[in-house]
C-alpha cells in the first residue's frame, strides 16, 4: 500500500495491519523518506478522516514536545500526516514502540501470568518481592519521564491515561501510545478536545461537573489522578478504589462510585469503608515517601496531587537508598506434566480387543482391533469414563479424553448371508432339471 506525506513523498506500507482499534489500524512501514527512522503508520477508518482531525495532527506534528524519544522511553507522537492518492487525509507516521513491548495490563494483575517468558519474572512479586518492587518502581520512573515531558509543554493533557495506553518491555522501556486522543490547549484556550475518558481513571471532581462538557479545559491534575491510579495498580496489583463501602446499593459496588465518594482505604474517608482486599495491606510495606504521594493523589484537594516529575524524583531517592541485590537467573516454574491416561479392555465373551496403545495423552487418536472367535464377529463398541458412556457402534477409533477409559466390545454369531441360500436353491434346481432330462432321454 502506498500513501503520501504532507510534502507528497511516497511511503510504502504493509498490506495488512499488525494492530487495530476502534478508530483505525496500525501498519508497518516498508520504505519511507530517510528523515524518518523506525516508524509505523496509523491509518484512520473513514469516520475519523476529518478536516478537524487533520488540523489536530498537523498541530502536533508542528509542535512536538522536546526529546520525546529516548533510550528507555518515548511518546508515540505524530511525526507526519499521511494522505491517499487523491489527497484525502488518512492518518500519520509515528515512532514504532520498543521491540518485545506488551501492554502494561500484564503487570497490574495480582499475579504474573505464567505464560510470560522468563525475562518478565523480574516483576514477579511471588518470585522475589523486594526485587520485583524495585523493578516496578524503576518502571514507574520510566513512565513518569515522558508524562513530565508532555506536561512541560503546557499545551497537552492526556485525559485518557490508562494501562492500555502504555507499552512496556521486560527491560523496563516504556512507550506511551494513543497520543492523538489528547486534549490540546494554548494559553488556557482549548484548541482541540480530547476523547472520552475511561470512568475508572476519572478523578472525583468529574462528578462535581469538571470535564463533563467535552469543551471543558482540563488541567494536569486530571492526568495526575489517573497516573497515580496506574502506579498504585502497578505496585499492588489492584485498583486503589476496589473496596466495599458501608453503603449497600447497586451503584456502590462500582469503582466510579468509590472514586466519587473518595473511598481510598488509607484516605480521609477510610471510616466509610466496610472492608477491602488484603492486597491493599501491601501499601504499608512501601517506603513512607511513596505512601504520602498516594495519600495526596487520592485526597480531597486536586491541586495537591503529585505531578509526574515529583513521582520520578521521589522514586529515584528511594531507589538510591535501597541496596539492590539482583537474584540469579530467573527460571519460571515448569509447566505441568502432560498426563497419559490408561486404556482398559473390559473382558468380553466370544472374542477380545486390543489397542494401538495402552496409555495415551488426551486428544490423540486410539485405534481398536477386534479379535472374534470362530463363527463370531464384532457387534458393537463403546467406551466409558468416570462421568459418561460413549457408543461407537462398529467404529474402531476414538479420540482419547482427559481421563482413563474402559472399552467394551460385544461379539455376535455370524449370520449366514441370504445370497448363500439363494445359490443352493439355484444349484438344486439345476441338478433336478438335469436329472429330469436324463430320465426322459432313457425312454426315447
Q: What is the pLDDT of residue 85?
A: 94
Confidence of residue 177 (pLDDT cuts 50, 70, 90): very high
Q: Are residues 126 and 183 in the same domain?
A: yes
Residue 139's SS3 state is helix
pLDDT, residue 394, reads: 87
Summarize pLDDT for 111-122 with one digit per residue, the tens: 888 888 888 988
Report the CATH number at residue 232: 1.10.510.10
How many residues does the structure list for the chain? 444
Same domain, 259 and 392: no
Q: Which of 297, 312, 336 is the last residue of a domain?
A: 336
Return the SS3 of 281.
helix
d(CA 28, CA 86): 22
pLDDT tens digits, residue range 316-328? 999 988 765 555 5
- State the Cα–Cα distance between residues 147 and 319, nearest whole angstrom: 20
Return all residues near 316 (Cβ < 8 A) that are at least 6 apart.
141
Distances (CA, A) of 426 to 88, 130, 420, 431: 89, 95, 10, 9
Confidence at 437, pLDDT banded by 50, 70, 90: low
Statement: residue 444 has pLDDT above 70: no
- Least confident residue range of 178-182, 371-375, 416-420: 416-420
Query: In this structure, is residue 75 part of a structural domain?
Result: yes
**Which helix H or strand E contains 340, and what residues bound it?**
strand 340-345
Alpha carbons 68 and 66: distance in angstroms, whole number: 6
Strand partners, 408: 382
Look at the chain and report how many structural domains it folds into. 3
Same-domain status, 81 and 126: no
* Structure-block grid coordinates of residue 323: 541496596
290 inside domain: yes
Within this chain, do residues 64 and 36 fall inside the same structural domain, yes or no?
Answer: yes
Choosing from 286, 311, 336, the residue where a domain stops is 336
Please check whether residue 325 is in contact with residue 340, taking contact to mean a CB–CB distance below 8 angstroms.
no
Same domain for 105 and 13: no
Mean pLDDT along residues 62-80: 95
Position 422 confidence tier, pLDDT thresholds 50, 70, 90: low
Kindly state the average pLDDT of the residues 173-185.
Answer: 96
Please say if the pLDDT value at position 342 is more than 70: yes
Which residues span the domain enclosing 285? 100-336
Question: Does residue 307 carry a pLDDT above 60?
Answer: yes
pLDDT of residue 47: 93
Specify the pLDDT at position 100: 94
**pLDDT given at position 432:** 63
At 324, give phi and psi (nearest 5°). Answer: -100, 115
Q: Are residues 202 and 222 in the same domain?
A: yes
Q: What is the mean pLDDT of residues 70-86?
A: 96
Please report the pLDDT score of residue 443 as a whole number: 56
Q: Any residues with CB less than 8 A from the CB of 35 and at least 6 apart, and which?
A: none
Residue 30 sits in the same domain as residue 118:
no
pLDDT for the residue 440: 55
Percent of the chain predicted with pLDDT > 70: 90
The bridge status of strand 73-75 relative to strand 174-176 is parallel
In this prediction, residues 285-302 reach a mean pLDDT of 95
Residue 441 lies in a domain: no
Nearest to 389 by CA among 369, 405, 409: 405
Grid coordinates of 428: 438344486
Note whether 64 and 122 are same-domain residues. no
151 plus 286 within the same structural domain: yes
Whether 332 is in a domain gets the answer yes
What is the DSSP code (8-state) at residue 118? G
Among residues 74, 96, 118, the one where a domain terminates is: 96
CATH no. for residue 76? 3.30.200.20
Cα separation, 140 vs 312, whole angstroms: 7
What does the pLDDT read at residue 264?
A: 97
Section 28-44 average pLDDT: 93
What 3-state class would DSSP assign to 403? coil
Question: What Å distances lie between residue 430 and 52, 71, 424, 435, CA to CA?
Answer: 101, 102, 10, 9
In a domain, 292, yes or no: yes
Please indicate whether residue 420 or residue 248 has the higher confidence score (pLDDT): 248
Average confidence score pLDDT of the chain = 89
Q: Exposed (0-12), middle (13-18) or buried (19+): which is 74, by Cβ within 10 Å?
A: buried
Q: Is residue 420 part of a domain?
A: no
Task: Answer yes or no: is 283 within a domain.
Answer: yes
- pTM value is 0.73
Which residues lie across from 83 on neighbouring strands? 4, 89
Q: Which residues pair with 192 in a beta bridge?
A: 184
Residues 312, 362, single domain; the answer is no
Same domain, 22 and 148: no
Residue 424 has pLDDT above 80, yes or no: no
* Residue 115 DSSP class: T
Residues 376 and 362 in one domain: yes
pLDDT tens figures, 220-229 = 999 999 999 9
Check residues 152 and 129 and name the one with the higher pLDDT. 152
Residues ≥6 apart with Cβ < 8 Å to 439: none
DSSP 414: P
Residue 428 in domain: no
Amino acid at each position: 500500500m502506498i500513501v503520501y506525506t504532507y510534502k507528497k513523498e511516497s511511503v510504502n506500507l504493509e498490506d495488512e495491519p499488525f494492530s487495530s482499534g476502534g478508530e483505525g489500524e496500525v501498519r508497518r512501514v516498508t520504505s519511507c523518506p530517510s528523515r524518518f527512522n523506525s516508524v509505523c503508520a496509523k491509518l484512520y477508518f473513514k469516520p475519523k478522516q476529518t478536516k478537524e482531525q487533520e488540523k489536530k495532527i498537523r498541530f502536533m506534528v508542528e509542535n512536538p514536545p522536546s526529546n520525546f524519544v529516548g533510550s528507555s522511553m518515548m511518546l508515540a507522537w505524530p511525526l507526519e500526516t499521511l494522505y491517499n492518492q487523491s489527497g484525502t487525509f488518512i492518518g500519520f507516521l509515528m515512532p514504532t514502540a520498543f521491540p518485545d513491548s506488551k501492554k502494561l495490563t500484564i503487570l497490574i494483575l495480582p499475579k504474573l501470568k505464567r505464560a510470560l517468558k522468563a525475562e518478565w519474572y523480574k516483576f514477579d512479586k511471588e518470585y522475589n518481592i523486594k526485587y520485583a518492587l524495585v523493578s516496578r518502581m524503576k518502571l514507574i520512573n520510566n513512565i513518569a519521564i515522558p508524562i513530565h515531558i508532555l506536561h512541560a509543554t503546557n499545551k497537552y493533557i492526556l485525559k485518557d491515561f490508562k494501562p492500555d495506553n502504555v507499552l512496556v518491555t521486560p527491560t523496563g522501556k516504556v512507550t506511551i501510545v494513543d497520543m492523538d486522543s489528547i486534549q490540546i490547549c494554548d494559553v488556557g484556550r482549548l484548541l482541540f478536545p480530547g476523547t472520552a475518558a475511561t470512568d475508572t481513571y476519572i478523578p472525583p471532581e468529574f462528578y462535581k461537573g469538571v470535564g463533563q462538557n467535552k469543551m471543558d479545559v482540563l488541567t494536569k491534575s486530571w492526568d495526575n489522578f489517573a497516573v497515580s491510579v496506574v502506579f498504585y495498580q502497578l505496585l499492588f496489583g489492584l485498583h486503589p478504589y476496589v473496596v466495599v463501602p458501608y453503603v449497600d446499593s447497586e451503584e456502590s459496588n462500582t469503582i466510579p462510585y468509590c472514586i466519587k465518594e473518595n473511598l481510598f482505604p488509607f484516605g480521609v474517608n477510610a471510616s466509610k469503608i466496610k472492608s477491602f482486599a488484603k492486597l491493599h495491606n501491601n501499601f504499608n510495606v512501601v517506603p513512607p515517601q511513596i505512601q504520602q504521594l498516594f495519600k495526596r493523589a487520592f485526597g480531597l484537594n486536586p491541586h495537591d496531587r503529585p505531578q509526574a516529575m515529583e513521582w520520578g524524583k521521589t522514586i529515584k531517592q528511594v531507589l538510591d537508598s535501597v541496596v539492590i541485590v539482583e537474584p540469579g537467573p530467573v527460571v519460571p516454574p515448569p509447566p505441568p506434566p502432560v498426563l497419559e491416561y490408561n486404556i482398559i479392555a473390559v473382558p468380553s465373551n466370544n472374542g477380545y480387543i486390543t489397542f494401538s496403545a495402552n496409555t495415551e495423552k488426551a486428544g490423540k487418536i486410539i485405534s481398536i482391533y477386534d479379535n472374534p472367535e470362530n463363527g463370531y464377529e464384532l457387534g458393537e463398541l463403546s467406551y466409558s469414563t468416570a462421568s459418561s458412556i460413549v457408543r461407537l457402534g462398529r467404529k474402531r477409533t476414538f479420540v482419547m479424553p482427559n481421563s482413563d477409559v474402559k472399552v467394551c466390545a460385544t461379539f455376535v454369531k455370524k449370520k449366514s448371508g441370504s445370497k448363500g441360500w439363494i445359490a443352493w436353491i439355484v444349484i438344486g434346481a439345476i441338478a433336478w432339471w438335469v436329472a429330469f432330462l436324463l430320465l426322459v432321454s432313457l425312454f426315447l
